[in-house]
Chain A
Amino acid sequence: MAETKVERLNEPKYNPFTQQELPACKPLLVPKLVVITFMFIGTLFIPLGAVCLQASSEVVEYTKRYDDLCVTGATNSDKEANLLATSGAGTDCQVTLAITEKMKAPVYIYYEMHNFYQNHRRYVKSRSDEQIRGDAAGAMSSCEPKVYTGGDSKLEVSPCGLIAWSFFNDTYSMSMNGQNLPFSEKGIAWTSDRKEKFGNQEALNFNDIPEYRGGGTITGPVNENEHFIVWMRTSALPTFRKLYGKIDQDLEAGSLITVDIDNRYNTYKFDGKKKIVLSTASWLGGKNDFLGIAYLTVGSICFIFGLVFLGLLCKYPRELGDVTLLSWNKVAKE
């Protein structure tokens, strides 16, 4: 039979893609590479860890819990009762922080809260960004249950919602060694927030009526109240700090800082804590040894692993691509 020439109409064209012959690099995690990887991570991370730790150690930080000091009462419920008895005026108290190490300006003032769930779903969604922006027609339904004061639909609250309603309202003033210590309350919020997210409208029906009040009040345009703006940037975890002010002078070692607190905010009911924090900041931020330690730990572990593997590599080298190790060849040998 003569070979009849068939026209190759259906023959697939050559193409490295369809023939699955694309050029490719085929890195294999061979023992040598394992050693190199671990050594590399080790040598990279250990210095990074040192740098981080160094940065953190430069930061000077003093913390003082004051919620329990500022109100009398044996239990939290006693304290709460005493606080509420002031009808919102709050109790005054003083705490003292001894500066033992020089703090270079700027020194940041924070308040720290514990057990305050700013991340609860009911809380997080209870805000109206449109309203805060100053959009008069902004939807307020999301602000439930704090839309109207006392449920009166004429008394539309602005800014509405639980977050705004529970606005932190303790205030601080400071003195150093008896001298008044001025601090700035500007520049504590993100500039972007101040400029774009908050409008210059005045608060309306906001925490006016004492019996419906949660936290503080707002006077003047909303976007000028940076404490409010800071408060509205909710925290991811129930323990958090918020920036309160900046001291633009160095605090010398040995000085005593007295903080006059107007203690109004009710943390007693939910068994929370309030703290005042003074801290400097490094290029890496506040005092947090975690990054440094983590880098050092991971780096050291990798380095040690790397060394161990290097030892293993020298002692028990494995010939790469040793076909006698193939499972079927092993079976055949047995």
Chain B
Amino acid sequence: MGVEGPKTRKIFINEAEKNEAAEYIDNSISTSKYTVVSFFPKGLYEQFQRVANFYFLIIAILSLFEFSPVHPVTNVGPLVMVIGISMLKEAVEDTKRHKKDSEVNSTPILVLRDGSFVETEWMDIQVGEIIKVLDKSFFPADLLMISSSDPDGVCYVETMNLDGETNLKIKKCLDNTVSFTTPHSLNDMQATLECEMPNNHLYTFTGNLSFQDNMVHSLSPMQVLLRGCQLKNTEWIIGSVIFTGHETKVMMNSKATPSKRSAIEHQLDKLIVILFCMQCIVCIVGAVGSPEFLDMKQWYLALDENPGFFDPNEKAVTGMVNFVTLFILFSTFIPISLYVSMEMIKFLSVVYFINKDRSIYDEHSDTAALARTSNLNEELGQVQYVFSDKTGTLTQNLMEFFKMSVGGVPYGDGITEIQRAIAKREGKALPDDVKDENYETGFNFKDKRIMGGNWIKEEHSEELLQFFRLLAVCHTVIPEGDPEPDKIHYQAASPDEAALVVAAKKFGFFFHTRTTNSIIVAETIPNADGTSTTEDKEYEVLAILEFNSKRKRMSAIVRTQDDKVLLFCKGADNVIYERLSKDGNEFREKSLEDLGAFGSDGLRTLCCAYKEIPRATYEEWFVKFDAARTSLVNREQMLDDVAEIIEVDLKLIGCTAIEDKLQEGVPRSIELMAEANINIWVLTGDKMETAINIGYACSLLTNEQRKFVIDAENERILEAEATMNKTGAIEILNEEVMSQLEKAYDDAKLMSESMKFALVIDGKALQVALQPENQNLFRKLGMMCASVVCCRVSPLQKADVTLLVKEGASMITLSIGDGANDVSMIQSAHIGVGISGNEGMQAVMASDFAVAQFRFLTDLLLVHGRWSYLRISKIIGYFFYKNILFTLTQFWFNCFAGFSGQRFYDDWYQSAYNVLFTSVPVIVIGLFDQDVNRAMGKAFPQLYMAGQKNIYFNVRALSWWILTGIFQSVICFFLPILAGHPAAVSEEGHMIGHWALATTVYTCVIITVNCRLALAVSFHTIFHHVFIWGSILFWYLFIFIYCAMTPGTAGSLDSSDNIYYVIYYLVGTPSYWFSIILTPVVCLLPDILMQGMERWFRPLDHQIIQEWNAKQSKDSMDDKLIEKIKNRGRTKSQIEGTDLLDEVRNRSHTGYAFESPQGTSYYAPQEVVDAQKRASVFVLRKRSNYGGSQGMAVPKINEE
């Protein structure tokens, strides 16, 4: 990409004049499509980009000329109407965007101007200016952090909008700028910032800050505050603007809002071309035939006088002009009202059905569904791939202590979502989840054996005591607020840790104070007489051995008040079990069973162990530890090694099981979607373990699947990264990932018959897999898998994965997410769904549909989507049919009229055909048709496959529509003619002539197409009857009035003279009635035959279900029955498979997962230190004075 221009940006901080030369863009953003000026030109241009609109524009222009067979109004009127409606819609939508933009742009902000901070608006700030951002406000642009209210120059940032993570990140300014905190000092600051050009990499930043004295300091992402992030827990920060407006990293990450059109609409364009070709063919026939016909011998045409466009001597000209004439006449091939009707249907469905649907209304957040576009309704019925975010979408981002196993005894009576899903599948009823008095956010544990001090009576009460103590002591949580159980708030790096501490509190081990080197826990020990004693116990924290993704465990070494040194350790089951002492661990096996059971229930487990360390051992070890943590080289590795020495011979106490609270009904929804043949890919920023765990929890991953884990965190890669330069490391990474992918793909191909697969891949590996040359392999592998989980992915990768499937495989994709980090994914997919009802609105703003809960996706897809698809495909086919039928009758007529372009029908018949007599019933079908009702649609999700296979809108279905159109046009034209021509049609011996015959044919056409519509419907509401039969009646009403208009009263429309009295005459002739009975019946017989035969001998799925549904009485239709019926065709082992599954699960998957944002790699450098790390550093630093030299900050948390 050879972009010319500077490679770096040089910013003069706080020197506005000098920056002007660079002409940086301002900080206002615009997401709107039009301005007032550009609305008409651009809007019209967009409208006429639609093939059909452009076509009708041409027709309308042509019909102004003399050679037009019809009155110009016939063509101009509908066009103006269509364009007008569409433009109005655009205008309304864009106004909303303008309003939103100006709201954002005028957010107030403090800027340093003329020596003091003055309030101005976001859009007014310039690159290089110095601004002050206050607590809880958002950064208006990408900033270089200069200083903060914290003397160490630290601030906390929430990056929810960027990556969806809710934990706070720490940013720290350069030590050299810490002191610039007042306007006065800032004015003295003279510095130049040289940095990279605007780009979309959220996690990188390179730049140098040079002061006047030529001191150059290199900058890292640590000093950069990005637009979209929010300042938290920091009074204020001062920063200098680096990138503004659309050049900020977050804006560079958001792609332009694409205007989405459904696949059916795209196919429709192709079909329009087919119709257009048909039209051209008949026009060419006419263009050739017409000059052939013309001859001087037709003396009654007086071709020797002013022949105009009928000059038999100028055959070429005659032919060409006649082509145009016929082109205008046959322009009804292309149904203009189709677009208006479709837009109306979609708009009304959105407003009245989707937005008003009570089953997708969330009562907890009081949020109804919201369809933000009406373009994609039918697309919802064809989705093949769903890409889902995890946090906030599948899960509530709420960790709750749910179960535990201590001393080999499992505790906790709760029922997880996954158990509910299994129970439901088996038709068992489970009690609802009732939250008891002990419930608290983070704690959803119910067990009478434990609660209320009863644990003391348990057999393993000693272990329980130790267990609770461990929970209260072994963590890095910082308490906030009053030290009272009800008021305290725990600040933790991960919600898991907080949940464990809350649990300890609930069990009577209330951790309330962390001092520099100790933890104070109020321990409540029940007495035998039912009372209890509460006593503060202080634990001196001697060392904290941190958590990281390699260690998968953390330990705290504490000295108790009775001077014992204890090591508490919690971590993944496998790492803990490796370190258990050989003997004295009698619940080893029992606990493992429990771990398995918890894991299969989708719970996140941690094993807890402890040991008492002899004083001498500890002291000996501490020397090594101290050396390690003060080492300047390779510190992390040395710390890990040292930890290994002490974390041995542990004694297992038990394990915890935390529920990563799923959104309601998620497993069931995923199961439904799987049955509907929708593939679900989870794209999450979480760690692999967490993601896999959730995969299990929501039945996306099962143990019967063969799992391919493509992990870029393996030894070889990590080593390469540590020892080699960047290019070398990337090479190794590529090699490693590709070999894993290839192996997986080969395996998958070999076993594709016998197994189902799941693919788990992490962000770094994904980066390799998404390279253009590797994409194919990854896509093929991914599509062979029943489910795919991508972990640690960036927002753009989410979009890329979506695009990979959308464009690479031409599958219909849907993305669902809740955060700003999902925006690009939402916009990339065919359909974007945002989770609404929470605070962040970015996802919703970018989405096409917004629902409050993931589970509503099933209703959206299986009910609304399926119906919409059915309706839209039906009406498109029908529109084609009815217009072909109508237009071809004119063509047959022209075959007998020298192809002269004479219209068979009256002008009014022609213009009213699409608008008045046939379109309203179509809208009714488009709104109301249902093949099966909502309950059936959800009970038989497999019905959804019809949409995926596109069986209502494929070549076969459309050919049938087109063929019947042709056939019926023949019948409609020739039958009435043969019946009424040339002999007399009445007892008076009168002839009926052109216009009466045309009226008869027209009546037949109207009756036929409306009856055909009725035949296409299997769900006749009162509206169907009113509008279908009403259309026919309306035609009669129209014609009776029209024919009654005495010649001369109709003004300029002198064609009415032709029609005058015609119908009154016709209704008096029996042959008219015989014709209009015979013709529709003959027309529709093949349809009836075909439909009847199809249902009889090759019934489609929905037809069987219709019949089945019709047999059932309403009350007997409970879910159980449906389940039973559904399973009737399955083999026995499949039904029993669920039990089998549980067994397998118990054997293989344990749910270790622990939220810790520790995975470091060059891809997503976690230079932002999280609160947890800080807490531990803080402890260390107080004991030894090394911290300062490493540039680590000392927080003031909790010291006062």
Q: Which residues of A contact B54 (CB under 8 A)?
A: none
A286 contacts across to B, CB distance below 8 A: 983-985, 989
> Taking the complex as formed, is B794 at the interface, i.e. its CB lies under 8 A from any CB of chain A?
no
What residue in chain B is nearest A215 (Cβ atoms)? B300
CB of A206 within 8 Å of the partner chain: no
Q: What are the interface flags for A274-289 relative to B under an 8 Å C-beta threshold, 1 for contact and 0 otherwise?
A: 0000010111111110
Select which of B1023, B1064, B1065, B1077 is within 8 A of A22 by beta carbon. Answer: B1023
Q: Does B1125 contact A (CB under 8 A)?
A: yes
The yes or no answer to A48 lying at the interface (CB within 8 A) is yes
Q: Which of B304-327 contact A (CB under 8 A)?
A: 305-308, 310, 325
Find the B residue at minimum CB distance from A270: B297
Asked if B1047 and A133 sit within 8 Å, CB to CB, the answer is yes
Knowing A321-B1109, A329-B1130, say if A1 contacts B987 (CB, 8 Å). no
Stretch of B337-345, B645-653, B894-902 lying at the A interface: B894-902
Contact A321 B987 (CB under 8 A): no
- List B contacts of A119 (CB < 8 A): 893, 896-897, 900, 902, 994
Number of A-B contacts (CB under 8 A): 344
Task: Check if A320 is an interface residue, CB within 8 A of chain B.
Answer: yes
Tell me whether A281 and B988 are in contact in the complex, defined as CB-CB below 8 angstroms, given that A120-B902, A166-B300, A240-B982 are known contacts: yes
Q: Does A295 contact B (CB under 8 A)?
A: yes
Chain B positions within 8 Å of A233 at CB level: 991, 993-995
Q: Are A323 and B1125 in contact (CB under 8 A)?
A: yes
Q: Is B716 an interface position by the 8 A CB rule?
A: no
**Given contacts A236-B994, A281-B986, A302-B1085, are A18 and B898 in contact (CB under 8 A)?**
no
Decide if B989 touches A246 in the complex (CB within 8 Å). yes
Binds B, one of A189-197, A217-225, A252-260: A189-197
Query: Would A235 and B297 count as touching, CB distance under 8 A?
Result: no
Question: Does B635 make an interface contact (CB < 8 A)?
Answer: no
Report whether B991 and A238 are in contact in the complex, using a CB–CB cutoff of 8 Å. Answer: no
Of B160-168, B358-366, B690-698, the one with at least 4 CB within 8 A of chain A: B358-366
Most buried by B among A28, A122, A129, A236: A236
- Measured CB to CB, the nearest residue on chain B to A283 is B987
Judge whether B298 is part of the interface by a CB distance below 8 angstroms.
yes
The reply to whether B993 and A234 form a contact with Cβ atoms under 8 Å apart is yes
Residue on B nearest A234 in the bound complex, by CB: B994
B1069 on the A face (CB < 8 A): yes
Query: Is the pair A18, B1021 in contact by a Cβ cutoff of 8 Å?
Result: no
User: Which of A4-12, A66-74, A95-103, A172-180 has 4 or more CB atoms under 8 Å from chain B?
Assistant: A4-12
Cβ 8 A contact of A162, one of B300, B930, B978, B1082: B300
| Chain A 305-334 interface 0/1 with B at a Cβ cutoff of 8 Å (1 = within) | 100010010000010111111111110110
Q: Are A192's CB and B896's CB within 8 A?
A: no
Nearest-CB residue, chain A, relative to B1129:
A329
Q: Is A26 an interface residue (CB 8 A)?
A: yes
A15 at the interface (CB under 8 A from B): yes
Which residues of B1073-1131 are within 8 A (CB) of A? 1074-1075, 1077-1078, 1081-1082, 1085, 1088-1089, 1091-1093, 1095-1097, 1099, 1101, 1103-1111, 1125-1126, 1128-1131
- CB < 8 Å neighbour of A29 from B359, B898, B940, B1091: B1091
Minimum CB–CB distance from A210 to chain B (whole Å) comes to 15
Nearest to B306 among chain A residues (CB) is A145
Contact A121 B299 (CB under 8 A): no
> Closest residue to B1093 on the A side, CB-wise?
A34
Whether B441 pairs with A1 at a CB distance below 8 angstroms is yes
Residue of A nearest to B304 (CB): A145
Q: List B contacts of A117 (CB < 8 A).
A: 293, 298, 301, 897-898, 900
**Cβ–Cβ < 8 Å partners of B867 in chain A:** 20
- List the one stretch of B607-615, B621-629, B1027-1035, B1053-1061 in contact with chain A: B1053-1061
Contacts of B679 in A (CB 8 A): none
Does B40 lie at the interface of the complex (its beta carbon under 8 Å from any beta carbon of A)? Answer: no
Query: Which residues of A are found within 8 Å of B994, using beta-carbon distances?
Result: 118-119, 124, 233-236
Q: What sequence of 0s and 1s flags, for each residue 958-986 of chain B, a beta carbon within 8 Å of any chain A beta carbon? A: 00000000000000000101111111111
The 8 A CB mask of B284-309 against A (1 = contact, 0 = none) is: 00000000010101111111011110
B571 to chain A, nearest CB (A): 29
Given A26-B1110, A284-B1071, CB of A37 within 8 Å of CB of B1088 = yes
User: Could you say which residues of chain B place their CB within 8 Å of the CB of A123?
Assistant: 300-301
Pick out which of these stretches binds chain A: B275-283, B349-357, B507-515. B349-357
Confirm or deny: A269 has a beta carbon within 8 angstroms of a beta carbon on chain B. Answer: yes
Distance in angstroms between the alpha carbons of A127 and B904 in the assembled complex: 17
Q: Is there contact, CB below 8 Å, between A270 and B928? A: no
Scan residues 105-140 of chain A and give those whose CB is less than 8 A from a CB of chain B. 106, 108, 110, 112, 116-124, 129-130, 133, 135, 139
Q: Do B987 and A285 touch (CB < 8 A)?
A: yes
Choose one: B366, B1047, B1097; the contact of A129 (CB below 8 Å).
B1047
- When the two chains form their complex, are residues B1128 and A324 in contact, meaning their CB atoms are under 8 A apart? yes
Question: Is A243 among interface residues, defined by CB-CB distance under 8 A?
Answer: yes
1/0 contact string of A229-243 vs chain B (CB within 8 Å) = 010011111111111
CB–CB A120/B1054 < 8 A? no
Q: Once the chains are docked, how many angstroms separate the CA of A144 from the CA of B307?
A: 9
A-B contact pairs, 24 of them (CB 8 A): A1-B439, A6-B365, A6-B366, A7-B366, A11-B361, A18-B353, A22-B1021, A22-B1022, A22-B1023, A29-B1091, A31-B1096, A45-B1081, A117-B298, A119-B900, A120-B902, A124-B994, A162-B301, A234-B994, A236-B896, A236-B904, A236-B993, A323-B1126, A327-B945, A332-B1134
Top 7 nearest A-B pairs (CB, nearest first) are A329-B1129, A321-B1108, A286-B983, A34-B1092, A321-B1107, A192-B1061, A286-B984
Write the residues of chain B forming the contact surface with A, with a CB cutoff of 8 angstroms: 69, 293, 295, 297-303, 305-308, 310, 325, 352-353, 355-359, 361, 363-368, 435, 439-441, 867, 893, 896-898, 900-902, 904, 928, 930, 933-934, 940, 942, 945, 975, 977-991, 993-995, 997-998, 1018-1024, 1046-1048, 1054, 1057-1058, 1060-1061, 1064-1065, 1069-1071, 1074-1075, 1077-1078, 1081-1082, 1085, 1088-1089, 1091-1093, 1095-1097, 1099, 1101, 1103-1111, 1125-1126, 1128-1131, 1134
Additional A-B contacts beyond A165-B302, A237-B896, A318-B1097 (11; CB < 8 A): A1-B439, A20-B928, A61-B983, A119-B896, A119-B897, A120-B897, A146-B305, A239-B982, A284-B1070, A288-B983, A323-B1126
